Amino acid sequence: MADYRELIEENVKKDRSDLRFLAICLFIFVWLTMFIGANRYFFYYIEVDGPSMENTLFTGDVLCVNKRVRAVRGDVVIIDGEKGNGQCLVKRVIALGGDTLVIEGGYVWLNGDKLEEDYIKEQGVTKVNGSAERKEYKIPAGEVFYMGDNRAVSQDSRSSFGTCGEEQIVGVVPDWAMSGFVKWFTGLRASVSEWVMNLFG
């Protein structure tokens, strides 16, 4: 009788193990399906590489990017690889088509008004090719003038990159994805990757 009970218990444990494995496989399948579908039509994810958006974003931060909205002034956006030698750029929209932008003395004026840029890493360092002399830009229709928040090191519309067309903006990083979500999602991705590696490694 004892041997029979042990056999039943072993079979129950095996069945539970099989069910657990099937549940894990189902969870992974559903998660991947949702991720791929959202990635294709609505959102996608990109990892920050480089210091040009400090102190807003840092290397290794993972961003959720909305592909279905149009960029406005102040938005953090992803620009396709044509401007970045094959690598997508993460920058901030400063001016749009029809705007007049002036950079002088380390600061920025948009259509005659000085911009209050509390998001940049350091105040008073916005220059063009290292010069603080006045530089005026008239943004053509359909074009976007963009800069990184770390103005001292960012390669952007002030450089040979110039402005980009609105169609070159791949997507917009929502405000909620610029706060604690970045750290949370970056940590979640690392944890899931480690879990999958341990599961199948």
| Mean pLDDT of the region 45-50 | 87
More confident call, 159 vs 33: 159
pLDDT band for position 67 (cuts 50, 70, 90): confident
In this structure, are residues 39 and 65 in contact, taking their beta carbons and an 8 Å threshold? Answer: no
More confident call, 115 vs 188: 115
pLDDT band for position 12 (cuts 50, 70, 90): very low
pLDDT band for position 148 (cuts 50, 70, 90): very high
52 is catalytic: yes
Alpha carbon dihedral 20, 25, 29, 31, in 10-degree steps, equals: 50
pLDDT band for position 71 (cuts 50, 70, 90): very high
SS3 186: helix
Percent of the chain with pLDDT over 90: 50
Question: Which residue is catalytic, options 14, 17, 52, 83?
Answer: 52
How confident is the prediction for the chain on average, in pLDDT? Answer: 81
SS3 179: coil
The pTM (predicted TM-score) of the whole model is: 0.71
Reported for 103-110, long-range contacts at CB under 8 A and 24+ positions apart, including other chains, are: 103/127, 103/128, 103/134, 103/135, 103/137, 103/158, 104/132, 104/133, 104/134, 104/135, 105/132, 105/134, 106/132, 110/73
13 is catalytic: no
The pLDDT score that the predictor gives to residue 98 is 97
SS3 199: helix
CB atoms within 10 A of CB 21: 11
Query: How do the domains of the chain map onto residue ranges?
Result: 2-41, 43-189
**pLDDT tens profile 101-126:** 999 999 999 999 999 999 999 999 99
Encoding tokens for residue 23?
Answer: 């549940």
The residues, any chain, with a CB within 8 Å of residue 48's CB and separated by 6 or more, are 57, 58, 59, 60, 61, 62, 63, 90
| Mean pLDDT of the region 56-80 | 90
The pLDDT score that the predictor gives to residue 180 is 59
Q: What CATH number does the domain located at 43-189 have?
A: 2.10.109.10
Q: Is the pLDDT of residue 13 over 80?
A: no
pLDDT band for position 42 (cuts 50, 70, 90): low
Question: Which residue is catalytic, options 13, 14, 91, 135?
Answer: 91
More confident call, 168 vs 20: 168
Consecutive H or E run containing 96:
strand 89-96
